[in-house]
Amino acid sequence: MPPLNLGDEMPNVAIVTNEGSMKMHEFMKDSWIILFSHPRDYTPVCTTELGRAANLAPEFKKRGVKMIALSCDDADSHNGWIKDVQSHANHVGDFPYPIIADDSREIAKSLGMIDPDESAGAGMPLTCRAVMIFGPDKRLKLSMLYPATTGRNFTEILRVVDSLQLTATKKVATPVDWKVGDKCMVVPSVKKEEEAGLFPKGVETLSVPSGKGYLRMTPMPE
Ligand code: BEZ
């Protein structure tokens, strides 16, 4: 299976998790999904990331995003590791998302999540820190790849979810460092004569030396 490109459907692979076995599409149903991979259980950066993700779970839930992690160890190992993660992150209660047990690396390999610079020894590669966000149509909307040595910023991940969900239904794009409530850009495919109907709050066209009116700002649509 070739690695996923934006727009590709998540393959309906069988997954074993610390919460049981299922097919990926059964887990996804018609929800937004975040799948994030980790190199290994009981490693320091991964422990901080899983804890942060657990503490942010209510924010993902508020946005209708189901979370699922993946790490290259088995389900028993995941269950033991979760206790460390919760202790380190001061997370109490049920752990809010399952972790795929990919000890064979089959899923990681098929999704292009392998880090060529990291190895578990004996020829076994490790996964990088991949983030894949899927829409309710099970198609890949966003992908990020970080090496094992660089932890991710989960506040940024929530920010991109906000952008993806807004731009899925409105003809806007979100500019640099955008956050909810900020002005948006009108996408280039919108014609001048369509602006008033699509953007009742108004469109401001910024002037640039080229004289081309492509920098069009509008308040964030409801
Ligand atoms: C970590 O999670 O800290 C880590 C895992 C594998 C390689 C480097 C760092």
pLDDT of residue 1: 56
Cα-based torsion angle of the residue sequence 158, 7, 126, 75 in order, rounded to the nearest 10 degrees:
70
- Cα(94) to ligand 1 centroid in Å equals 25
**219-to-149, 164, 182, 206, 212 alpha-carbon distances in Å:** 39, 17, 7, 14, 21
pLDDT of residue 112: 86
Query: Given this structure, which CATH class describes domain 170-222?
Result: alpha beta
**CATH assignment, 14-152:** 3.40.30.10
Which residues are catalytically annotated? Answer: 46
The tokens describing 195, both together, are 């602006």
Distance of CA 11 to the CA centre of its chain: 16
The tokens describing 160, both together, are 């991109």
pLDDT of residue 116: 73
pLDDT tens, N- to C-terminus, the chain (222 residues)? 568 999 999 999 999 999 999 999 999 999 999 999 999 999 999 999 999 999 999 999 999 999 999 999 999 999 999 999 999 999 999 999 999 999 888 898 889 888 777 777 767 778 889 999 999 999 999 999 998 899 999 999 999 999 999 999 999 999 999 999 999 999 999 999 999 999 999 999 999 999 999 999 999 998
pLDDT of residue 209: 98
Ligand 1 atom with the smallest distance to the CA of 118 is: 7
Ligand 1 atom with the smallest distance to the CA of 38 is: 2
- Cα(39) to ligand 1 centroid in Å equals 6
Domain limits of the chain?
14-152, 170-222
- Cα(44) to ligand 1 centroid in Å equals 6
Q: Spell out which residues line ligand 1, taking CB within 6 angstroms.
A: 39-40, 43-46, 118, 126, 148-149
**Nearest residue to 153 (alpha-carbon basis) of 177, 118, 187, 180:** 177
